[in-house]
Amino acid sequence: MAVSAMTRLVAAKEARRLRLARLPVEEKIRNLVHLQAMAAPILRQRGRNVRVWRIESPPPVRREDYRAGAGIGNADPR
Amino acid sequence: MEATLEVLNRLERQGVIARYAIGGAVGAIFYMEPFLTYDLDVFVVLPETPGGLVTLSPIYDALRAMGYAEEGECVSIEGVPVQFLPAHNALLEEALAEAQEMRYGATTARVLRPEHLAAIMLQTGRDKDRQRFSAFLREATMDAGYCDTVLARHGLVERWKLWQSAQ
């Protein structure tokens, strides 16, 4: 790959990070909950006890992720 | 998370905590791109007790009375595991005193300033702080002059230079 193309890709990646950093915090927290749901099954397989947040206006997280965390506090699926 | 923040604000209004501010990973997310975390770290100043003893028990008692269950070192408040951390050194005390109110939905939350979050990463110095630090510097908007004074006041200038040179 040409150096200029690589430079463009790195710059685009950096620009995307900055765009994400400038999102409204409510949107960032919704993204965080998506990340939690994606990572939770892997972390649980490794023995870590993690729980996906159940926040207002929940993102479309798979129900089994909530179920896996149920039994701790108020983790009922919506 | 709005409901969680409202509970924190209520605890402060009721005097259970003298002052709180969000720090840790979620504090950083207020200023940078989101990254994975499962806890909400809340730094607190507790009201003075007659014996001068610092204990989180009044917070846990008040939350239990509101129906929120403890989960290990956290308390689950409206679906979010919250970890309360007393401000145990001069940097954290200053960070809490100068934390800023930020809007979250229809409510407000007090969040540590980015300059203090960077200083706390430096002071804590774990691998994950170091990884987060470099991204934080690129993405968060900081007041350079204010940051310099915080670093100087808490003896962190040399580590700042070291970490920056290693990027």
ipTM of this model? 0.90
In the predicted structure, residue A59 carries a pLDDT above the cut 50: no
Which residues of chain B does A31 touch, with a Cβ-Cβ cutoff of 8 Å? 34
CB B107 within 8 A of CB B6: yes
Task: Check B38 against A18: CB less than 8 A apart.
Answer: no
Q: What is the mean pLDDT of residues B59-66?
A: 95
Looking at every residue in chain B, the average pLDDT score rounds to: 94
Task: Check B34 against A51: CB less than 8 A apart.
Answer: no
- What is the pTM (predicted TM-score) of this model? 0.85
Residue-level length of chain A: 78
In the predicted structure, residue B11 carries a pLDDT above the cut 60: yes
CB B95 within 8 A of CB B21: yes
Chain A residue with minimum CA distance to B107: A26
Please, which pLDDT band fits residue A3 given cuts at 50, 70 and 90?
confident
- Range with lowest mean pLDDT among A24-33, A69-78, B149-158: A69-78
- Pick the residue of A13, A17, A32 with the most B CBs within 10 A to test the interface with B by mutation: A32
In the predicted structure, residue B46 carries a pLDDT above the cut 90: no
Pairwise pLDDT comparison (B41 vs A58), residue with the higher score = B41
Residue-level length of chain B: 167
Task: Give the whole-number percent of chain B exceeding pLDDT 90.
Answer: 86
Of B148, B152, B76, B151, which Cα lies nearest the Cα of B121? B151
Kindly report, residue by residue over A18-57, the tens digit of the pLDDT. Answer: 999 999 999 999 999 999 999 999 999 999 989 999 986 5
CB B99 within 8 A of CB B21: yes
Please, which pLDDT band fits residue B49 given cuts at 50, 70 and 90?
confident
Q: What is the mean pLDDT of residues B61-81?
A: 93
Provide residues of A within 8 Å CB-CB of chain B.
14, 17-18, 20-21, 25-26, 28-29, 31-32, 35-36, 39, 50-56, 72-75
